[in-house]
Structure 1
Amino acid sequence: MKKTFLSILAIAAIAFSNCTTSSIEPVMGFQVDATNFKGTITQGTVSLDASVEYNLTGALIIENGAKLIIPAGTVIKASGGTSAYIAVAQGGKIYVDGTATNPVVMTSSKANPAAGDWGGFVICGKAPTNKGATATAEVSDLTYGGAEPNDSSGSIRYLRVEYTGATYNASKEFNGVSLFAVGSGTTFEYVQSYNGGDDGLEFFGGSVNAKYIVSVNSGDDSVDFADGFTGSIENVYIKGVNKAGFEGSNNGDDGNATPVTTTTIKNATILLGGLTAAEGAIYYKEGGGKITYQNIYVDGLSLGVKVKSTDTAANARIKAGDLIVNPIQFVNKPVGFDYGEKSVITELNNTGAGSGAAVPSWAAGWTVGL
């Protein structure tokens, strides 16, 4: 798709003609219009006002050198399908400053919202991936990747993203949150994807360390990571699995591409929630990578670990000991339950994200659908 850019003059004209603004002054021609919230922040700092509801009608881009601050309790309601999304470009920064009792919410503007109503939240950083020195994000056309593992795109805390996943075609649609080469200097914690049309959260390379993640009723995978991801994902509560709970891969074009996906997934609960879970609790694919799963609790899924026999690179890594699932616990196994790749699994009684299937204490207050 093509990026949605408005000129500074066009944004200013809209703002002066009919606008509800935050309390700040315009920044280099960009003025916040809450009724028609979109455009490109090219520099300076824009701060939103939690007492104002924002109607996202198109793409909002935070460019290199610019900052967007979203205070606790801010609600952004999106309309416009694939044209409406929020994206942080390389060098841009976003500060989502929600709290446990007052999260920031990005959601649909429809009276009867549904998955796919709008795009989603995209961050593009400068950390390494195995897609080349730089690559182009498929859902914003922004560049991502580089050689800065400690790169910072800002701080995201207590954010709920709802009804995302607008579709371009059968093979291209938005995730709830897409992190392209996001570096470890970025704070990313207490984030929920709710009722998204595609993956809940997906990490495309990068080295960010994600904590306290919730994914509920994602249309595809609940949490997906690929393309040389070298960060970590800790404390995850997944409910309503459609395809895979976790999908971990190395590179869809070259299963042996470097840097190889290398990560630890720790303290996770995966609950079926009435959906099919066709790809299991864990799907190891496209070369997989060096992946360790620790303290995983799975309730009601029909498949443990899926690995395709035709995935030569992934199977070679399993033989080399690069996939470790230790410990994992399966409860309420349906008839026909299959561990999948049995050789990598060690079963013990686990706590998962908190206390087995129970909602963890850290998820209280700011989440929905649990």
Structure 2
Amino acid sequence: MKKINFLPIIALLAVFITACSGDDNNNGPIDDDNGDDGNSVEKSGILTEDEHWTADKVYLLEGKVVVDEGVTLTIDPGTIIKGKPGQESQASALVVDQGGKLMAEGTANDPIIFTAEADNIQPGELSGSNLDQNDIGLWGGVIVLGKAPISFSGDSQTGQIEGIPPSETFGKYGGTDPEDNSGSLKYISIRHGGITIGQDNEINGLTLGGVGSGTTIENIEVVANQDDGIEWFGGTVNVTNALVWAQGDDGFDTDEGWSGTLDNGVVIMGSESGTGLEMDGPAGTTKHPNPAQQHTLKNITLVGAGTSSKYADLRDGLLVNLENVFAYGFGESATVKINGEDSRDELANDNIIFSNWEIVLPEGAAIADIIVGKKPDPNDPDKEIDMEITAEKFTDNAKGVETGTVGANTSVFDWTYASGMGVEF
């Protein structure tokens, strides 16, 4: 297990190159060779037949490219997929609809790379030369939608995923099949996404909506996403070996009663990042005990950017196990926030569980300073006030250290773009 002290992130000196995009609609698939070398293939609309994307081509996503129900998209190791910029409803993304499958199995030597059209990376390369971790929101992202249970507002079995307007024929997620299978995602790097589609509405690097445990997701990297790195909306899928670097909002974000496990994860905060871990409770009715709505994050390393202010924000009465977490490089006022009275109650009832936390404390800080309780001010909903919590549930299971002995096995991320850029974690 590789453990080193926080070092400044080394970035490439880059010149940002902007690329233009048309506003084609999504009425059906387009398959046009785009470029004099014949190596560029444009994709748009709904894929109604099985497709196989190969590493000798660069695939350009024009708007939403949707893997339809009953369709399998297979992507070979080393394949590069680029998203065009289009704003709001024209934002580009790869969407795996309910009943569709994505078989995208890269390798450590030949990862599958999703990036922006502006990226000058070419087939056979692991990175381009003109973008870095500061180039965010240049396209959408990857969205996988399944039929596993969710806890949705109003106790509906299904919902419409954020980032896709309700007017679209795709975007539904959730159901009654916890073992639903949306395919296999291995050794995938997703870069420069999270384009804004509306007020306070961006696309995550990887969105998992109601994804079932029959789906395989491992060795995933998200870099420079404008919104969250990876966000789970319910479902039962397990994820192994996930790294997020320089996200604009949260690293790992959980919602709507996700009941899977993230094992071995790293969040490397950038200067504009929000929270390392943001976790919300079930949006529908909660009955206790209900282990089917409790998720686990274990073997996690959180790397601050010096001024980062939140290790974790635990909200809306979530149910979670947080095991073997190592954090360093955060600001002196950084906190683990128990957010709201419902989360306070879950902490007291041992439905929020901390185990083996180690933190390299900022100068002058103590473990007791890390855990805080906040609730809305009844006299001003835009403000928060302090709230008494059972802080010992955290302080008895966390300690200050100089070097971590828990956290992620970071050696498994040697294949990533972040590692190649010299980021220390």
TM-score range with shorter-chain normalisation?
A: 0.7 to 0.9
In the alignment, which of 307, 312, 333 is matched to residue 282 of structure 1? Answer: 312
Alignment deviations for residues 314-336 of structure 1 (CA, whole Å, 9 cap, x no partner): 11111111111111001142445
In the alignment, which of 184, 203, 228 is matched to residue 257 of structure 2? Answer: 228
Asked if 1:129 is matched to 2:150, the reply is yes
In the alignment, which of 325, 329, 340 is matched to residue 300 of structure 1? Answer: 329
Q: Distance in 2 between matches of 1:109 and 1:233?
A: 30
1:80 matched to which residue of 2? 85
The answer to whether the 8 Å contact 1:296/1:350 transfers is no
The answer to whether the 8 Å contact 2:187/2:220 transfers is yes
2:356 matched to which residue of 1? 327
Alignment deviations for residues 212-247 of structure 1 (CA, whole Å, 9 cap, x no partner): 000001100000011010011000011115221111
2:112 matched to which residue of 1? 104
1:38 partner amino acid: S
In the alignment, which of 398, 407, 410 is matched to residue 347 of structure 1? Answer: 398
Q: How does 1:268-279 map to 2 (within 5 A)?
A: 268-274=300-306, 276-278=307-309
Label 1:344 to 1:255 Cα distance change in 2 as closer, same or farther (>3 A). Answer: farther
Q: Distance in 1 between matches of 2:55 and 2:86?
A: 24
Q: Distance in 2 between matches of 1:147 and 1:65?
A: 18
2:375 matched to which residue of 1? none
- How far is the alpha carbon of 1:6 from its aligned partner? 2.0
Q: Distance in 2 between matches of 1:20 and 1:81?
A: 17
1:203 matched to which residue of 2? 232
The answer to whether the 8 Å contact 1:293/1:324 transfers is yes
Label 1:42 to 1:334 Cα distance change in 2 as closer, same or farther (>3 A). Answer: farther
Label 1:148 to 1:33 Cα distance change in 2 as closer, same or farther (>3 A). Answer: farther
User: What CA RMSD, in Å, does the superposition of the two structures yield over aligned residues?
Assistant: 2.3
2:78 partner amino acid: G
Q: Distance in 2 between matches of 1:71 and 1:301?
A: 39
Label 1:35 to 1:47 Cα distance change in 2 as closer, same or farther (>3 A). Answer: closer
Q: Secondary structure at the match of 1:307?
A: strand
The answer to whether the 8 Å contact 1:255/1:286 transfers is no
Q: Distance in 2 between matches of 1:257 and 1:218?
A: 34
Asked if 1:39 is matched to 2:17, the reply is no
2:417 matched to which residue of 1? 367
The answer to whether the 8 Å contact 1:254/1:286 transfers is no
Instruction: Show structure 1 runs of 5+ residues with no match.
Output: 22-31, 355-359
Asked if 1:248 is matched to 2:297, the reply is no
Q: Distance in 2 between matches of 1:77 and 1:55?
A: 5
The answer to whether the 8 Å contact 1:271/1:301 transfers is yes
The answer to whether the 8 Å contact 2:85/2:116 transfers is no
Label 1:319 to 1:351 Cα distance change in 2 as closer, same or farther (>3 A). Answer: closer
The answer to whether the 8 Å contact 1:87/1:140 transfers is no
Q: Distance in 2 between matches of 1:20 and 1:4?
A: 17
Q: Secondary structure at the match of 2:343?
A: helix
| % identity of equivalent residues | 27
Moved more, 74-83 or 328-337: 328-337
2:71 matched to which residue of 1? 66
Q: Secondary structure at the match of 1:315?
A: helix
Asked if 1:264 is matched to 2:296, the reply is yes
The answer to whether the 8 Å contact 2:75/2:103 transfers is yes
Alignment deviations for residues 163-207 of structure 1 (CA, whole Å, 9 cap, x no partner): 011012332111101000000000000001101000000000000
Q: Distance in 2 between matches of 1:218 and 1:335?
A: 28
- How far is the alpha carbon of 1:20 from its aligned partner? 6.0
Q: Distance in 1 between matches of 2:198 and 2:62?
A: 21
1:140 partner amino acid: I
Alignment deviations for residues 27-68 of structure 1 (CA, whole Å, 9 cap, x no partner): xxxxx994422221123x200110111222221100100010
Alignment deviations for residues 116-135 of structure 1 (CA, whole Å, 9 cap, x no partner): 00010000000000112111
1:217 matched to which residue of 2? 246
Q: Distance in 1 between matches of 2:213 and 2:25?
A: 28
Moved more, 345-354 or 186-195: 345-354
Label 1:108 to 1:20 Cα distance change in 2 as closer, same or farther (>3 A). Answer: closer
- How far is the alpha carbon of 1:109 from its aligned partner? 1.6
Q: Distance in 1 between matches of 2:287 and 2:61?
A: 38
The answer to whether the 8 Å contact 2:28/2:47 transfers is no
Q: Secondary structure at the match of 2:347?
A: helix
Which of structures 1 and 2 has the larger relative contact order (alpha carbons within 8 angstroms, sep 6+)? Answer: 2
Q: Distance in 1 between matches of 2:416 and 2:370?
A: 34
Q: Secondary structure at the match of 1:316?
A: helix
Asked if 1:95 is matched to 2:103, the reply is yes
In the alignment, which of 139, 152, 163 is matched to residue 181 of structure 2? Answer: 152
| Matched residues, number | 339
Q: Distance in 2 between matches of 1:52 and 1:263?
A: 39
- How far is the alpha carbon of 1:81 from its aligned partner? 3.4
- How far is the alpha carbon of 1:4 from its aligned partner? 5.6
Q: Distance in 2 between matches of 1:184 and 1:167?
A: 30
TM-score (structure 2 length as normaliser): 0.75
